[in-house]
Amino acid sequence: MVFPTGFSSNDATLQCLLRLLNDSVVISDQFNHASIINGVRSTRNERKIFRHNDLQHLEEILSAYPINRQKIIIFESIYSMDGDRAPIVGIVSLAKKYNAITYLDEVHAVGMYGHRGAGLAAELGVSDQVDIIQGTMAKAIGVIGGYIASTKELVDAIRSFATGFIFTTALPPAVVAGCYASIEYLKNHETERTALHEKTKNLRAKLAELSIPVMECSTTHVLPVLIGDAIKCKSAAERLLSVYHVYLQPINYPSVPVGTERFRVNVTPNHSEPQIAHLASSLHEVFDYFDIPLKNSHSLAEVS
Protein backbone atom coordinates (compact mmCIF):
# COMPACT_ATOMS: atom_id res chain seq x y z
CA MET A 1 0.00 0.00 0.00
CA VAL A 2 1.57 3.26 -1.20
CA PHE A 3 1.57 6.67 0.55
CA PRO A 4 2.84 10.08 -0.61
CA THR A 5 5.84 9.98 1.77
CA GLY A 6 7.64 7.67 4.15
CA PHE A 7 6.65 9.90 7.07
CA SER A 8 2.97 9.65 6.18
CA SER A 9 3.12 5.87 5.74
CA ASN A 10 4.31 5.49 9.35
CA ASP A 11 2.11 8.20 10.78
CA ALA A 12 -1.14 7.22 9.04
CA THR A 13 -0.68 3.46 9.41
CA LEU A 14 0.15 3.56 13.10
CA GLN A 15 -2.67 5.97 13.94
CA CYS A 16 -5.13 3.76 12.11
CA LEU A 17 -3.79 0.45 13.42
CA LEU A 18 -3.73 1.60 17.03
CA ARG A 19 -7.25 3.03 16.86
CA LEU A 20 -8.53 -0.23 15.40
CA LEU A 21 -6.70 -2.14 18.15
CA ASN A 22 -7.48 0.42 20.84
CA ASP A 23 -6.85 -1.93 23.76
CA SER A 24 -3.39 -2.88 22.51
CA VAL A 25 -0.15 -1.95 24.25
CA VAL A 26 2.42 -0.14 22.11
CA ILE A 27 6.03 -1.09 22.86
CA SER A 28 8.35 1.24 20.97
CA ASP A 29 12.14 1.46 20.69
CA GLN A 30 13.65 4.47 22.44
CA PHE A 31 15.26 5.78 19.22
CA ASN A 32 12.35 5.36 16.81
CA HIS A 33 11.82 8.01 14.13
CA ALA A 34 9.64 11.10 14.64
CA SER A 35 7.04 9.72 12.21
CA ILE A 36 6.58 6.69 14.45
CA ILE A 37 6.45 8.80 17.60
CA ASN A 38 3.88 11.09 16.02
CA GLY A 39 1.64 8.19 14.99
CA VAL A 40 1.81 6.60 18.44
CA ARG A 41 1.23 9.85 20.34
CA SER A 42 -1.87 10.58 18.27
CA THR A 43 -3.70 7.67 19.91
CA ARG A 44 -4.76 6.85 23.45
CA ASN A 45 -3.21 3.39 23.54
CA GLU A 46 -1.12 2.39 26.52
CA ARG A 47 2.51 2.71 25.51
CA LYS A 48 5.88 1.63 26.80
CA ILE A 49 9.36 2.58 25.59
CA PHE A 50 12.09 -0.05 25.67
CA ARG A 51 15.75 0.89 25.87
CA HIS A 52 17.33 1.06 22.44
CA ASN A 53 17.97 -2.42 21.01
CA ASP A 54 17.74 -3.91 24.53
CA LEU A 55 16.14 -7.35 24.25
CA GLN A 56 16.22 -7.93 27.99
CA HIS A 57 14.29 -4.74 28.67
CA LEU A 58 11.85 -5.53 25.86
CA GLU A 59 11.17 -8.95 27.39
CA GLU A 60 10.65 -7.43 30.84
CA ILE A 61 7.93 -5.20 29.39
CA LEU A 62 6.30 -7.98 27.34
CA SER A 63 6.26 -10.42 30.25
CA ALA A 64 4.39 -7.94 32.43
CA TYR A 65 1.22 -8.29 30.32
CA PRO A 66 -1.17 -11.24 29.97
CA ILE A 67 -0.44 -13.44 26.95
CA ASN A 68 -3.84 -12.64 25.44
CA ARG A 69 -3.39 -8.84 25.74
CA GLN A 70 -2.61 -7.47 22.28
CA LYS A 71 0.90 -6.02 22.08
CA ILE A 72 2.59 -4.20 19.18
CA ILE A 73 6.39 -3.93 19.02
CA ILE A 74 7.56 -1.03 16.84
CA PHE A 75 11.20 -0.77 15.78
CA GLU A 76 13.54 0.07 12.89
CA SER A 77 16.03 -2.17 11.14
CA ILE A 78 18.75 0.50 10.78
CA TYR A 79 18.72 3.63 12.91
CA SER A 80 19.57 6.68 10.86
CA MET A 81 21.38 8.76 13.46
CA ASP A 82 23.62 6.06 14.94
CA GLY A 83 23.94 3.70 11.96
CA ASP A 84 23.32 0.63 14.11
CA ARG A 85 21.12 -2.41 13.47
CA ALA A 86 18.20 -3.72 15.44
CA PRO A 87 18.37 -7.30 16.81
CA ILE A 88 15.56 -8.23 14.42
CA VAL A 89 15.75 -12.00 14.92
CA GLY A 90 15.63 -11.60 18.70
CA ILE A 91 12.69 -9.19 18.55
CA VAL A 92 10.73 -11.49 16.25
CA SER A 93 11.41 -14.39 18.61
CA LEU A 94 10.14 -12.42 21.61
CA ALA A 95 7.06 -11.34 19.67
CA LYS A 96 6.18 -14.97 19.03
CA LYS A 97 6.81 -15.92 22.64
CA TYR A 98 4.59 -13.18 24.03
CA ASN A 99 1.90 -13.02 21.33
CA ALA A 100 2.86 -9.60 19.94
CA ILE A 101 2.58 -7.98 16.50
CA THR A 102 5.79 -6.64 14.95
CA TYR A 103 5.96 -3.38 13.00
CA LEU A 104 9.34 -2.84 11.31
CA ASP A 105 10.55 0.38 9.66
CA GLU A 106 13.05 -0.58 6.92
CA VAL A 107 13.54 2.82 5.28
CA HIS A 108 17.33 2.85 5.75
CA ALA A 109 17.76 -0.72 4.53
CA VAL A 110 15.42 -1.05 1.53
CA GLY A 111 17.37 -1.25 -1.70
CA MET A 112 20.69 -1.56 0.13
CA TYR A 113 20.47 -4.84 2.05
CA GLY A 114 19.06 -8.29 1.46
CA HIS A 115 18.36 -10.36 -1.62
CA ARG A 116 17.21 -8.01 -4.39
CA GLY A 117 17.38 -5.13 -1.91
CA ALA A 118 14.38 -6.29 0.11
CA GLY A 119 15.86 -5.05 3.40
CA LEU A 120 17.63 -6.26 6.51
CA ALA A 121 14.85 -8.60 7.63
CA ALA A 122 15.09 -10.31 4.25
CA GLU A 123 18.87 -10.54 4.58
CA LEU A 124 18.35 -12.30 7.92
CA GLY A 125 15.64 -14.57 6.47
CA VAL A 126 12.83 -13.38 8.75
CA SER A 127 10.87 -10.91 6.60
CA ASP A 128 7.99 -13.38 6.35
CA GLN A 129 7.82 -13.46 10.16
CA VAL A 130 7.39 -9.69 10.54
CA ASP A 131 3.73 -8.63 10.58
CA ILE A 132 4.09 -5.18 8.99
CA ILE A 133 7.07 -3.80 7.09
CA GLN A 134 7.21 -0.11 6.24
CA GLY A 135 9.56 1.38 3.67
CA THR A 136 10.27 4.37 1.47
CA MET A 137 10.66 5.20 -2.20
CA ALA A 138 13.12 7.95 -1.25
CA LYS A 139 16.59 7.10 0.07
CA ALA A 140 17.95 4.16 -1.99
CA ILE A 141 15.09 4.16 -4.50
CA GLY A 142 15.73 7.84 -5.11
CA VAL A 143 12.23 9.17 -5.76
CA ILE A 144 9.54 9.92 -3.14
CA GLY A 145 6.80 8.00 -1.39
CA GLY A 146 6.30 5.41 1.31
CA TYR A 147 4.61 2.04 1.65
CA ILE A 148 3.58 -0.73 3.98
CA ALA A 149 3.60 -4.46 3.21
CA SER A 150 1.55 -6.94 5.21
CA THR A 151 -1.28 -9.45 4.89
CA LYS A 152 -4.12 -8.71 2.50
CA GLU A 153 -6.54 -8.30 5.42
CA LEU A 154 -4.39 -5.87 7.37
CA VAL A 155 -3.54 -3.76 4.32
CA ASP A 156 -7.22 -3.62 3.42
CA ALA A 157 -8.06 -2.43 6.96
CA ILE A 158 -5.51 0.39 6.75
CA ARG A 159 -6.73 1.33 3.26
CA SER A 160 -10.32 1.46 4.51
CA PHE A 161 -9.84 3.41 7.75
CA ALA A 162 -6.57 5.43 7.67
CA THR A 163 -7.52 9.09 7.37
CA GLY A 164 -3.93 9.93 6.45
CA PHE A 165 -4.37 7.75 3.37
CA ILE A 166 -7.98 8.45 2.42
CA PHE A 167 -7.86 12.23 2.68
CA THR A 168 -4.57 12.99 0.98
CA THR A 169 -3.33 13.14 -2.60
CA ALA A 170 -1.90 10.06 -4.30
CA LEU A 171 1.51 10.12 -5.95
CA PRO A 172 1.36 11.41 -9.57
CA PRO A 173 1.52 8.66 -12.23
CA ALA A 174 4.90 9.90 -13.51
CA VAL A 175 6.37 9.64 -10.00
CA VAL A 176 4.91 6.15 -9.54
CA ALA A 177 6.47 5.12 -12.86
CA GLY A 178 9.83 6.40 -11.64
CA CYS A 179 9.47 4.48 -8.36
CA TYR A 180 8.52 1.32 -10.20
CA ALA A 181 11.44 1.57 -12.64
CA SER A 182 13.92 2.17 -9.82
CA ILE A 183 12.58 -0.74 -7.74
CA GLU A 184 12.71 -3.10 -10.69
CA TYR A 185 16.29 -2.04 -11.40
CA LEU A 186 17.41 -2.53 -7.79
CA LYS A 187 15.70 -5.93 -7.64
CA ASN A 188 17.73 -7.16 -10.60
CA HIS A 189 21.16 -5.56 -10.10
CA GLU A 190 23.71 -6.02 -7.33
CA THR A 191 26.27 -3.55 -8.71
CA GLU A 192 25.11 -0.54 -6.71
CA ARG A 193 24.66 -2.48 -3.46
CA THR A 194 28.13 -3.99 -3.75
CA ALA A 195 29.67 -0.60 -4.56
CA LEU A 196 27.88 1.06 -1.64
CA HIS A 197 29.27 -1.38 0.90
CA GLU A 198 32.76 -1.44 -0.59
CA LYS A 199 32.96 2.35 -0.66
CA THR A 200 31.57 2.59 2.86
CA LYS A 201 34.36 0.25 3.98
CA ASN A 202 36.88 2.43 2.18
CA LEU A 203 35.53 5.63 3.72
CA ARG A 204 35.63 4.08 7.20
CA ALA A 205 39.29 3.21 6.64
CA LYS A 206 40.13 6.74 5.41
CA LEU A 207 38.44 8.33 8.40
CA ALA A 208 40.18 5.94 10.79
CA GLU A 209 43.59 6.78 9.27
CA LEU A 210 42.99 10.45 10.09
CA SER A 211 41.47 9.74 13.53
CA ILE A 212 38.10 11.20 12.49
CA PRO A 213 35.73 9.87 15.18
CA VAL A 214 33.04 7.66 13.67
CA MET A 215 30.81 6.64 16.56
CA GLU A 216 31.34 3.00 17.49
CA CYS A 217 27.63 2.19 17.41
CA SER A 218 27.68 2.34 13.58
CA THR A 219 27.79 -1.02 11.77
CA THR A 220 26.15 0.05 8.50
CA HIS A 221 26.56 2.51 5.63
CA VAL A 222 25.47 5.34 7.97
CA LEU A 223 28.63 6.84 9.46
CA PRO A 224 27.93 9.29 12.33
CA VAL A 225 31.00 11.54 12.71
CA LEU A 226 31.03 12.93 16.23
CA ILE A 227 31.42 16.69 16.73
CA GLY A 228 29.95 17.06 20.23
CA ASP A 229 29.15 20.76 20.04
CA ALA A 230 26.16 22.37 18.30
CA ILE A 231 27.85 25.65 17.33
CA LYS A 232 30.97 23.93 16.05
CA CYS A 233 28.86 21.39 14.16
CA LYS A 234 27.03 24.15 12.27
CA SER A 235 30.20 26.17 11.69
CA ALA A 236 32.13 23.12 10.50
CA ALA A 237 29.37 22.31 8.00
CA GLU A 238 29.51 25.87 6.65
CA ARG A 239 33.29 25.72 6.25
CA LEU A 240 33.16 22.34 4.54
CA LEU A 241 30.75 23.75 1.98
CA SER A 242 32.31 27.18 1.40
CA VAL A 243 35.98 26.13 1.39
CA TYR A 244 35.95 22.49 0.26
CA HIS A 245 32.64 22.26 -1.66
CA VAL A 246 31.58 19.34 0.53
CA TYR A 247 28.00 19.28 1.81
CA LEU A 248 27.35 17.48 5.09
CA GLN A 249 24.21 18.07 7.12
CA PRO A 250 24.90 19.15 10.72
CA ILE A 251 22.78 17.07 13.10
CA ASN A 252 22.02 18.88 16.35
CA TYR A 253 19.45 18.63 19.17
CA PRO A 254 16.58 17.66 19.12
CA SER A 255 17.50 15.15 16.39
CA VAL A 256 20.24 13.80 18.68
CA PRO A 257 20.99 14.29 22.40
CA VAL A 258 22.97 17.36 23.47
CA GLY A 259 26.67 16.53 23.49
CA THR A 260 26.40 14.03 20.61
CA GLU A 261 26.07 16.55 17.75
CA ARG A 262 27.40 15.00 14.57
CA PHE A 263 27.64 14.78 10.83
CA ARG A 264 25.70 11.87 9.33
CA VAL A 265 27.90 10.72 6.46
CA ASN A 266 26.69 8.39 3.71
CA VAL A 267 28.84 7.55 0.72
CA THR A 268 27.02 6.58 -2.48
CA PRO A 269 27.91 4.05 -5.20
CA ASN A 270 28.73 6.97 -7.49
CA HIS A 271 31.34 8.65 -5.32
CA SER A 272 34.87 8.19 -6.64
CA GLU A 273 37.94 7.22 -4.64
CA PRO A 274 39.41 10.77 -5.01
CA GLN A 275 36.14 12.22 -3.71
CA ILE A 276 36.22 9.91 -0.70
CA ALA A 277 39.82 10.93 0.02
CA HIS A 278 38.89 14.61 -0.39
CA LEU A 279 36.05 14.27 2.12
CA ALA A 280 38.33 12.65 4.70
CA SER A 281 41.10 15.24 4.33
CA SER A 282 38.60 18.10 4.37
CA LEU A 283 37.04 16.81 7.57
CA HIS A 284 40.48 16.53 9.15
CA GLU A 285 41.31 20.15 8.32
CA VAL A 286 37.96 21.38 9.61
CA PHE A 287 38.40 19.43 12.86
CA ASP A 288 41.78 21.10 13.29
CA TYR A 289 40.45 24.57 12.35
CA PHE A 290 37.66 24.48 14.96
CA ASP A 291 39.66 22.49 17.54
CA ILE A 292 37.18 19.59 17.45
CA PRO A 293 38.59 16.56 19.27
CA LEU A 294 39.80 13.70 17.11
CA LYS A 295 39.17 10.05 17.90
CA ASN A 296 41.95 9.68 20.44
CA SER A 297 40.47 12.58 22.42
CA HIS A 298 36.89 11.31 22.54
CA SER A 299 35.38 8.78 24.89
CA LEU A 300 33.14 7.16 22.29
CA ALA A 301 31.68 4.73 24.77
CA GLU A 302 30.10 7.63 26.65
CA VAL A 303 28.36 9.18 23.66
CA SER A 304 27.29 6.04 21.80
- Model pLDDT for residues 124-154, shown as the tens digit of each residue: 999 999 999 999 999 999 999 999 999 999 9
Mean pLDDT of the 244-261 span: 95
User: What's the predicted TM-score (pTM) here?
Assistant: 0.94
Q: Which helix (H) or strand (E) holds 37?
A: helix 34-41
Residues 6+ apart with CB under 8 A from 256: 81, 262
pLDDT at residue 301, as a whole number: 41
Cβ atoms of residues 227 and 251 within 8 Å: no
The confidence score (pLDDT) of residue 297 equals 59
pLDDT of residue 295: 85
| R_g over Cα of the chain | 20
**Cα 61 from Cα 53, distance rounded (Å):** 13
**Residue 44 — very low, low, confident or very high, per pLDDT cuts 50/70/90?**
very high
Q: Report which DSSP code applies to 294.
A: -
SS3 assignment, position 4: coil
Question: Active site includes 199?
Answer: no
d(CA 149, CA 102): 12
Distance CA 300, CA 239 (A): 25
User: What is the pLDDT confidence band of residue 302, given thresholds at 50, 70 and 90?
Assistant: very low
Choice among 48, 139, 234, 295 that is catalytic = 139
Whether residue 254 is preceded by a cis peptide bond, meaning omega within 30 degrees of 0, is yes
Residue 197 contacts residue 222 (beta carbons within 8 Å): no
CA distance 166 to 175: 19
Question: What is the average pLDDT across 280-292?
Answer: 97
> For residue 230, with 0-12 CB atoms within 10 Å meaning exposed, 13-18 middle and 19 or more buried, which class applies?
middle
> Is residue 298's pLDDT more than 90?
no
DSSP per-residue string spanning 122-167? HHTT-GGG-SEEEEESSTTT-S--EEEE--HHHHHHHHHH-HHHHT
Strand order in the sheet with 223-226: 223-226, 262-265, 250-251
pLDDT at 300 over 90: no
Bridge partner residues of 148 (DSSP): 134
